[in-house]
Chains A and B, each alone.
Chain A
């Protein structure tokens, strides 16, 4: 069975693989950091958060300071979907933000009985 781990990231519990929920691309082993299988782009935060005040005139222009802040954008290498963004300090390694215990995940979804719950139905319930 397949379980959504994030809005865009799916785990195939039998194959133990991360998958893109948009294009079904198989990313890599689910026991590893999913970010290893994505494309990464380090983006100047001023491209996303445009200054409110004239940056030529004011140091504090209501937009992040590129000297201390960079945005790492993580894309599905197959369809380009942006699965995560991370704001960090330039030069810092990406954070291993999500490390699910795959055995425990299997047990919670399939249980001792092996009867499968429906992951998408559960998510849908909280969207309506």
Chain B
């Protein structure tokens, strides 16, 4: 390696040209060779040498336990020291990788999804930085990443990688990965409807060497702090990640000292291969077949739209083909596009969390999956469009995979988990930003995001607001803690509203509403970025209904703290009562979709929203009438639902079931179905239309059309999609108002 320190300006011309040609690449952008390959790397010659000599399973099991304990230990260290509200709710993970970057082992708790998608940056660092003398990889280095184009889920996450050396050679990598939140984007918290370009997304951290000799570099740390709204949180979390990495590195070296480096290297690789081979074996076990699901993202986050995402899973032998063609074209100036790597990640997480719960979460388990896409669509977007809300399409593929494998496994001889309906699948959290009561600048997310409801199972109801679709061991945080740190109170906290679950033989879990009321004089505001306000977001299974829709509602123009103090009887901690009864005079009541752009709210204004329910399982008429009455008593459903949908007859005062009348009512509902149902041919002739409805812009394939609909831009083949640039809804409104004004001002005859 050339380590000359001479100023290149003094070199001779030929040396300069040679150096230029060998060293200069215009831009080390995201590398498609890396980013579009989710497969396990081939064995290195060292791994080959070690593993071909034979494997001691007992020894490897011992190493696995030891390293797992280290990951859980470091997870705890980080969890107890982080400042990011999401990471405090366990929205983080720690992991060990092979030298090539394949995830071998992740912490038991937290969100393994982070570590699952981090082979990309490790491969990038090794490919481009290892031999670059201005960067290099040395013992005690730490690389920080947040830009999703180089790996990871989305840019509000930040991950610190540390190489683990033995005798001057990289033998492994460790990472502490977490949702940081505030990254200096156009809107607080790094996500939001108003992000319209990649340049609104804040810090675009390609892998940066932030740590040398086990210490954070003050100049870079200062730059990071200076680039975001939460400089203290940024510093605290960088330190927390570094502490975790230092401990992981130390534990790995202890294992190397104890078991020998070959055993540790051999274990890391063999664990990856085990996951890869076991995934393939389980797929080979399944009957071949194809399962299709289509979802609609119903909001670009600025305007209503119907963006189809098409998911077709085909099992053939020991392979799975995931075909995403037919999905909506990417939107140039809206944040709901996703990278292919994000979709791949969604499948891996789902398999590990919902289908093969006994398997570790790693990319290796879906090594036998291949993905087919139309590049330039929201399931595989280009690098030119914003991806700040890529979790929208990612959560969709998670539910698609969940439902696809529920169906594929139902008829299979061997299963690994219970069949269940769709988990709730939207980031239904309020994002806040501004100045706190402690005079700190801030911008982050309420832990309520994690309060997603579970889908109904084949033999029991789903759980209420239990955990996010992407991680089982995650918390929603304490309201009181948030109130201490931030200038709002939870005026409504975790109240379940009737109907917020998928109905069925077994119902999906219900989900809660909550309302934040601004407290204090400082500038502070809220936003939301959730789909599913027009069209349900998650689905039921085998006749079970979907979750309902929801929205954001607000009471503005009045300080409700004064109302609470002077006329407490007028304030009911219930969204429905507040909005339907409108007891507070002179206040503005309004409802919106769950994609609400960031705005400041003065003291005493109320911002309310809801988490989403889980999908139902099976025919509603199969539900035990006693369970229907229990739902009524618990406020999970309305009387009309119990009587008309579930067909249960009961005394409305005592809730005593009339069994005979219930049987009769259910019989009559069955008869009614036979009367109103029509045959396939009649349905196709009378209900199916050649074009999508004109009421809302439609994006994607319609009835398997080859051309993709492009909303207001007509339709086009996937290879010739027009750039879809949508106007600012405010401009549209201004134009409409101007036209109206002109028509009113026009001279009348």
Q: What is the interface of chain A, defined by CB distance below 8 A to chain B?
A: 3-8, 11, 35-42, 45, 47-50, 52-54, 57-65, 67-69, 71, 73-75, 77, 79-85, 87-101, 104-105, 107-109, 117, 119, 122-123, 126-128
Give B245-273 interface residues, CB cut-off 8 Å to A. none
A87 touches B415 (CB 8 A): no
B546 touches A63 (CB 8 A): no
A88 touches B413 (CB 8 A): no
B415 touches A122 (CB 8 A): yes
User: Measured between C-beta atoms, what is the minimum distance from B20 to chain A in Å?
Assistant: 56
Chief secondary structure at chain B's binding surface:
loop
B677 touches A50 (CB 8 A): no
Q: Interface code B471-485, partner A: CB below 8 Å = 1, 0 otherwise?
A: 000000000000000
Given contacts A83-B543, A99-B291, contact A39 B413 (CB under 8 A): no
Q: For B620, list chain A residues within 8 Å (CB).
A: 82
Bound Cα distance from A31 to B657, whole angstroms: 43
Give B515-565 interface residues, CB cut-off 8 Å to A. 533-536, 539-546, 548-553
A54 touches B580 (CB 8 A): yes
A93 touches B684 (CB 8 A): yes
Q: For A85, list chain B residues within 8 Å (CB).
A: 540, 543-546
Q: For B580, list chain A residues within 8 Å (CB).
A: 53-54, 57
A69 touches B610 (CB 8 A): no
Q: For A93, list chain B residues within 8 Å (CB).
A: 684, 688, 703-704
Given contacts A48-B503, A104-B287, contact A89 B645 (CB under 8 A): no
Q: For A57, list chain B residues within 8 Å (CB).
A: 579-580, 589
Most buried by A among B411, B546, B673: B411
Bound Cα distance from A66 to B285, whole angstroms: 42
Given contacts A50-B499, A87-B546, A98-B407, contact A109 B413 (CB under 8 A): yes
Q: Interface code B599-626, partner A: CB below 8 Å = 1, 0 otherwise?
A: 0000000000010000001111100000
User: Measured between C-beta atoms, what is the minimum distance from A125 to chain B in Å?
Assistant: 8
Across the interface, B535 reaches (CB within 8 A) one of A39, A48, A69, A74, namely A69
Q: For A109, list chain B residues within 8 Å (CB).
A: 287, 413
9 A–B contacts, CB within 8 A, in A order: A7-B617, A41-B676, A52-B497, A68-B535, A83-B543, A91-B691, A92-B688, A92-B692, A99-B289
User: Measured between C-beta atoms, what is the minimum distance from B234 to chain A in Å?
Assistant: 36
Given contacts A60-B533, A63-B548, contact A100 B591 (CB under 8 A): no
Across the interface, B551 reaches (CB within 8 A) one of A60, A73, A104, A123, namely A60
Bound Cα distance from A88 to B536, whole angstroms: 10
Q: What is the interface of chain B, defined by CB distance below 8 A to chain A?
A: 285-294, 296, 298, 304, 306, 407, 410-415, 417-419, 458-459, 497-500, 503, 505, 533-536, 539-546, 548-553, 575-576, 579-580, 589-593, 610, 617-621, 638, 640-641, 644-645, 669-671, 673-674, 676-680, 683-684, 687-689, 691-693, 695-696, 698, 702-704
User: Measured between C-beta atoms, what is the minimum distance from B77 to chain A in Å?
Assistant: 38
A39 touches B677 (CB 8 A): yes
Across the interface, A41 reaches (CB within 8 A) one of B298, B414, B644, B673, namely B673
Q: For A127, list chain B residues within 8 Å (CB).
A: 418, 458-459
Across the interface, A126 reaches (CB within 8 A) one of B418, B505, B640, B693, namely B418
Q: For B692, list chain A residues within 8 Å (CB).
A: 89, 91-92
Bound Cα distance from A68 to B415, whole angstroms: 36
User: Measured between C-beta atoms, what is the minimum distance from B282 to chain A in Å?
Assistant: 13
B618 touches A91 (CB 8 A): no
Bound Cα distance from A85 to B292, whole angstroms: 14
Chain B residue nearest in CB terms to A107: B287
A64 touches B548 (CB 8 A): yes
Most buried by B among A7, A45, A88, A117: A7
Q: For B696, list chain A residues within 8 Å (CB).
A: 67-68
Across the interface, A50 reaches (CB within 8 A) one of B414, B458, B641, namely B641
Bound Cα distance from A45 to B689, whole angstroms: 19
Bound Cα distance from A3 to B287, whole angstroms: 12
Bound Cα distance from A52 to B292, whole angstroms: 32
B498 touches A53 (CB 8 A): no
User: Measured between C-beta atoms, what is the minimum distance from B651 to chain A in Å?
Assistant: 21
Bound Cα distance from A90 to B704, whole angstroms: 15
Bound Cα distance from A65 to B534, whole angstroms: 5
User: Measured between C-beta atoms, what is the minimum distance from A20 to chain B in Å?
Assistant: 12
User: Measured between C-beta atoms, what is the minimum distance from B291 to chain A in Å?
Assistant: 6
Given contacts A4-B411, A68-B298, A95-B292, contact A75 B535 (CB under 8 A): no
A104 touches B288 (CB 8 A): yes
User: Measured between C-beta atoms, what is the minimum distance from B407 to chain A in Å?
Assistant: 6
Given contacts A50-B640, A53-B553, A99-B290, contact A6 B410 (CB under 8 A): yes
Q: For A62, list chain B residues within 8 Å (CB).
A: 497, 499-500, 548-551, 610
A96 touches B591 (CB 8 A): no
Given contacts A68-B693, A82-B620, contact A94 B413 (CB under 8 A): no
Q: For B541, list chain A residues within 8 Å (CB).
A: 7
User: Measured between C-beta atoms, what is the minimum distance from B315 to chain A in Å?
Assistant: 8
Bound Cα distance from A43 to B86, whole angstroms: 40
Chain A residue nearest in CB terms to B641: A50
B576 touches A52 (CB 8 A): yes
Chain A residue nearest in CB terms to B704: A93
A69 touches B291 (CB 8 A): no
B551 touches A89 (CB 8 A): no
Chain A residue nearest in CB terms to B671: A80
A40 touches B619 (CB 8 A): no
B413 touches A58 (CB 8 A): no
Chain B residue nearest in CB terms to A128: B459
Across the interface, B679 reaches (CB within 8 A) one of A39, A73, A99, A117, namely A39
Chain A residue nearest in CB terms to B691: A91
Bound Cα distance from A85 to B218, whole angstroms: 58
B289 touches A48 (CB 8 A): no
